[in-house]
Every structure is written in C-alpha cells, then in structure tokens.
C-alpha cells in the first residue's frame, strides 16, 4: 500500500530504541511531553485501552453499588468488554449519523450510575450540558479518549476517569492511558504480559520489512501476527500495566508535529473536494483545535469503496464492526453508521503528496 497500513515501531526525536531486553521494565510517567496535557490526577500507563478502562472500573466498583452504565450504541467491543467483565449492566444511547452526535435520554439519569463518553475520529459533538447534569446527579463520567486524545476539546473536564489508547496514533507496543482526576487509584497494576508485547514487536518488525521491500515480507504476515496477538488480548485482558519502551516513546514523542501534520492533511483533502456518494465526509469542516485520527466517510456501497481504494494504493479501515450487544432496529442512527462508515488515513507519516494520492483515489470512486 502507498498510503495506510500498520505503523512501524516509533523512534521519535532520534533516540535509540531499546532492544528487547528493555521490554517489561518500569513504565515511568513523568518526563513532560504529551502526558502533561492530560491535566492533574493519578496517571497510569497500561498495556492497552481495554486494560486501562478495566483498571478504572476496578477502582470505581467498590463505591458503585448500582453498576449500570450508559454507553454509546456506536462503539467498539473493546469498550464494552471491560464493563461486562467488571459486572456492569449496560444500556445504550443512539448516535446520529450527522457528525456522530449522541442522542442522550434524560429520563435515564435516575437509573444509571456511569456515563460512558467519547468523541469520534478526533471530533467531540456530545451535549456537554447533559454531561453536567449527570455529574450533578452523582453519575460517574468515564471518558474514552482513544479517538480524541490530541484534540484541544478532547478531554472532558467533568469526567472523573479518563481511559484510552494511543496505539491508533503511533507505533508503540502498549498505549493504554488511565487517569483518575481526584484521589489515587486503589488497585495495583499487573506487570505487562510479555507474550503480548513480543507479538506486537514482531508485528512491527514484519511491517518494517514490508516497507523496506525485503523479499518474503508481506502485509498479510504482519496482519496475521497483529490479529493473533489482538485476539489473544481480547480473551485474557486484565489490569495490565505498560512496558518501559512504550512509556519512553510516549514521553518523548513530538506530539505537536503529529497534530500539525494530521490537520494539514485533513485540510488539504477538504480543499480538493474529492467527495461523492461513495465518499461523503462525516465531518466536512475541520474546526479549530481538532486533531483528526482519520478522515471518516460514508459510502453508499462500502465494500465497493474499500476495494477500489485498495486498488489505488489506499488502505481504508472500518471502525468498528457491529458488536452485537443491541438490536439495531432500536438504534437507527447507529445502524446506519455501522453499515456505511469507513475511514482513510491522514496521519503524521504522510505529506501533501500522499494526501493527493488519497484525493485521487476518492475521486475514482
């Protein structure tokens, strides 16, 4: 692929990447950089976003006797699984296809104990007044920042817990972040699972060989390693901490350049207007302070769009496949999103030249 595919292991700011012997070492949180932008509180680095969210729920459970969580119907299995494992009953709110805006039901405020909140693809369009009403009613707000980690408004000030993953933003073995705004986490983190980290590093290594054009290397092999590692994580996740290598990368990563490049690429594609019924932008404006994770699009026929883009050298992705926890007939907004949405990369690996390739591919649809 000319644009898209998995990240390689990062080597930001020219530092020497530690060899495998460093994996599993301590995970320092201090050192400046991106983590300082998250604000005050007890910050822990975890093995994945799934592990980070579960860690937050383990901390909350002793005081939450009701344990009823209100989550978006359009979400990832990664978000739902920690709530289920922590023993929460789930109810869901619909999401409008227009700018992925949550459709909250105020009648549920007396019933729930947790509001699960998130932005999408860097954009946060939820009703902050509703979030305030929940917080005032004693409902604990837990925000997943996996999609909004680098946006100026991506961290909700009324959330008690912040959890998410940076693994969609850069090439790191572990990317989980857990932040408790007031007080300290009570549970201890488990050491990172070495087999999981070894699988992630093996995936990065194979992807590096692909980009170097080495004989026998393939994106299929890299993808196979990734999914084997990912599916194992889905079955055994727990409150696992991060490794030292990931912590070092996060602490030293030039995140402001990440923000600048992603915004430039997104803005360039908007300016070229390559859109059509197979590529309708979910967010047709790039507002100030937003750092997009991808360019999210709707397609009248998504499989056709994905196939054509791949032929043009652009690897698009679907976030997320339907998780099966709801009846889609009850959530028409989410049903439309699941059926039509896909995204193309605009990340910091790419310049205007690659953004032009994406435009040409979208026009060809």
Question: How do residues 120-132 score in pLDDT, each as one tens digit?
Answer: 999 999 999 999 9
- Average pLDDT of the residues of the chain: 93
Measure the CA–CA gap between 216 and 199, rounded to whole angstroms.
19
pLDDT of residue 162: 98
pLDDT per position as a tens digit, 49-68:
999 999 999 999 999 999 99
Give the max Cα distance, the chain. Answer: 61
Report residue 33's pLDDT band, with 50, 70 and 90 as the boundaries.
confident
Contact by Cβ (8 Å): 203, 228: no
Residue 93 CB contacts under 8 Å (≥ 6 apart), including other chains: 70, 71, 72, 73, 102, 103, 104, 105
Report residue 343's pLDDT band, with 50, 70 and 90 as the boundaries.
very high
Q: Provide the 10 A C-beta neighbour count for residue 65.
A: 7
Q: What is the dihedral of CA 306, 309, 313, 319, to 10 degrees?
A: -40
pLDDT of residue 219: 87
Report residue 32's pLDDT band, with 50, 70 and 90 as the boundaries.
low
pLDDT of residue 211: 86
pLDDT per position as a tens digit, 281-339:
999 999 999 999 999 999 999 999 999 999 999 999 998 889 999 999 999 999 999 99
Q: List the beta bridge partners of residue 2.
A: none
φ, ψ of residue 151 to 5 degrees: the values are -85, 145
For residue 349, give Cα distances in angstroms to 107, 125, 260, 262. 45, 27, 12, 9
pLDDT > 70 fraction of the chain, expressed in percent and rounded: 94
pLDDT of residue 17: 40
Q: List the beta bridge partners of residue 297.
A: 281, 342
pLDDT of residue 13: 53
User: What is the mean pLDDT of the segment spanning 135-162?
Assistant: 97
Q: What is the dihedral of CA 148, 203, 82, 298, to 10 degrees?
A: 50
User: What is the mean pLDDT of the segment spanning 5-22?
Assistant: 60
User: What is the mean pLDDT of the segment spanning 83-95?
Assistant: 98
Q: What is the pTM of this model?
A: 0.93
Is residue 16 over pLDDT 80? no
pLDDT per position as a tens digit, 175-227:
999 999 999 999 999 999 999 999 999 999 999 898 888 999 998 999 999 99
User: What is the mean pLDDT of the segment spanning 106-123?
Assistant: 98
Q: Report, at the CATH architecture level, how domain 255-363 is classified.
A: Alpha-Beta Complex (3.90)
CATH of domain 24-180: 3.40.640.10
Is residue 18 over pLDDT 70? no
φ, ψ of residue 44 to 5 degrees: the values are -130, 145
Q: Tokens in use for 153? A: 């408004």
- The owner of tokens 């750092």 is 291
């Amino acid at each position: 692929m000319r644009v898209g595919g998995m990240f390689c292991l990062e080597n930001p700011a020219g530092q020497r990447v530690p060899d495998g012997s460093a994996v599993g070492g301590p995970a320092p949180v201090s050192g400046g950089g991106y983590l300082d932008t998250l604000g005050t509180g007890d910050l822990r680095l975890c093995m994945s976003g799934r592990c980070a969210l579960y860690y937050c729920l383990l901390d909350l459970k002793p005081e939450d006797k009701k344990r009823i969580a209100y989550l978006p119907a359009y979400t990832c299995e990664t978000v739902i699984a920690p709530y289920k494992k922590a023993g929460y009953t789930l109810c869901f709110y619909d999401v409008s296809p227009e700018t992925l805006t949550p459709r909250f039901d105020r009648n549920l405020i007396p019933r729930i104990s947790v509001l699960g909140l998130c932005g999408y693809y860097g954009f946060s369009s939820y009703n902050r007044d509703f979030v305030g009403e929940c917080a005032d009613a004693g409902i604990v707000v837990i925000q997943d920042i996996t999609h909004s980690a680098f946006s100026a408004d991506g961290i909700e000030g009324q959330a008690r817990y912040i959890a998410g993953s940076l693994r969609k933003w850069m090439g790191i073995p572990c990317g989980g972040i857990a932040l408790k705004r007031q007080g300290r986490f009570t549970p201890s983190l488990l050491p990172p699972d070495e087999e999981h980290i070894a699988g992630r590093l093996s995936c990065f290594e194979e992807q590096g060989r692909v980009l170097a054009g080495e004989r026998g290397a393939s994106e299929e092999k890299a993808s196979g390693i990734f999914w084997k590692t990912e599916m194992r994580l889905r079955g055994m996740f727990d409150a696992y901490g991060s490794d030292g290598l990931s912590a070092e990368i996060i602490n030293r990563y030039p995140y402001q350049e990440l923000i600048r490049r992603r915004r430039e690429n997104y803005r360039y594609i908007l300016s070229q207007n390559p859109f059509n019924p197979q590529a309708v932008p979910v967010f047709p404006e790039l507002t100030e302070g937003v750092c997009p994770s991808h360019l999210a699009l709707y397609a009248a026929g998504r499989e056709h769009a994905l196939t054509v883009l791949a032929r043009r050298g652009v690897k698009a992705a679907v976030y997320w496949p339907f998780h099966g926890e709801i009846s889609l007939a009850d959530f028409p907004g989410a049903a439309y999103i699941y059926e039509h949405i896909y995204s193309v990369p605009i990340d910091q690996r790419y310049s205007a030249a690659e953004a032009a390739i994406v435009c040409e591919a979208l026009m060809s649809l």
